[in-house]
Structure 1
């Protein structure tokens, strides 16, 4: 298995978490798959989906936080060309810093680098329904293959949630109202 995405156990229409299953970090199948969480929330009035993942090359990996933000307004229209419509943009929330990490310090003026865009075809084209475009350090490969895999699988998850009507602010707000940290079931 390359990767998988789905709902958390005993999920319902108001569930805020998605489960992402990835191969083990070691590359050794006997080490078992890794499970990551994709959590939905409302931030500054828009739907966001947050995750953490190991980034980097080869043996030098570290965890960073990322957030898919639902596209809003005219400023996001420039991110993709017609017939594509920007659905979500992926921003890097916690870049690694240090003297030797100049390329990783290249971040936007708001301290958050745009690393990918998820867009869908506004013409409802069945053979080409959506695309993911890597940007910045997401495009250069400096964030690594694991980041790229997580970006693609979470993008696919967002597409599925969109088709179910579960990316709207109202649905997520309803889920937040029902969410009790630490509760099960």
Structure 2
């Protein structure tokens, strides 16, 4: 059986003003040796602009995130009792399990249809000194692929709440991010500026969803489900500027890891049938 998720069906949000315009979007440059990459990395609050997932499942349940195999910057663990009472995913602020915990995600056996809890412990040397708890809420539908939404507090004086939504995608942004990767997830900025430049995939600008919302992060699956390099992640557009802050970056990476693992489980189950 083909383990690939079903094609994503775009949808259009109603009741949103199209009067405000986002700046002209230019596709991000992912060449790590370029000066542009260093400029983008300097702008980020916590993570580099792109990350890969590196795995050695036969040796350990811990895998690593980093821009290259030689730069494994963060460790991630998925305990054996996944979807139990313990955290089902732990992200560390360093390449080992001895490094401080940056975020934990707790799910259950209904991880696809119930909210999951993401907890960020206080970071003494980070941007938040208090514990932060956020829910990622699924919104499945009979007519479109499921989506997952979370909110964060905006940065800056007088900032309000910001809403973001993960949607499945097979769009051009995924193809640009990782050659040979045909599907994955895109994170759109729901409470940001919208544009009239949405529409069908062939008509709209790169970095803009069908409803005109801006794409601020991507997760591309490895089409072969390689156990050494499982996925490629990238921040995009406004997500590359650092203005959403460290908390948003941590939530975005943690939630992306959860969605990758849900798809990985689905692919494994399908292959076993």
Shorter-normalised TM-score: what interval? 0.5 to 0.7
Aligned length in residues:
150
CA distance in 1, matches of 2:196, 2:104: 31
RMSD: 2.8
Taking a change above 3 Å as real, the CA distance of residues 68 and 79 of structure 1, as seen in their structure-2 partners, is farther
Q: CA deviation at 1:79?
A: 4.4
Q: CA deviation at 1:149?
A: 0.8
Taking a change above 3 Å as real, the CA distance of residues 14 and 138 of structure 1, as seen in their structure-2 partners, is closer
CA deviation map 1:59-113 (0-9, x unaligned): 76532110000114x5565443323233110000002xxxxxxxxx475733411
Whether the 8 Å contact between 1:108 and 1:114 is mirrored in structure 2 is no
**Rg (Cα) greater in structure:** 2
CA deviation map 1:132-173 (0-9, x unaligned): 11111001212111111111000011112212339xxxxxxx
Q: Do residues 160 (structure 1) and 261 (structure 2) align?
A: yes
Taking a change above 3 Å as real, the CA distance of residues 14 and 149 of structure 1, as seen in their structure-2 partners, is closer
**1:132 partner SS:** strand
TM-score by length of 1: 0.68
Whether the 8 Å contact between 1:86 and 1:117 is mirrored in structure 2 is no
User: Which structure shows the bigger proportion of residues in strand conformation?
Assistant: 1
Q: Do residues 138 (structure 1) and 239 (structure 2) align?
A: yes
Other-structure match for 2:220: 119
TM-score by length of 2: 0.48
User: Which structure shows the bigger proportion of residues in helix conformation?
Assistant: 1
Q: Do residues 23 (structure 1) and 23 (structure 2) align?
A: no
CA distance in 2, matches of 1:69, 1:152: 15
Structure 2 portions without partners, runs of 5+: 1-100, 198-210, 268-273
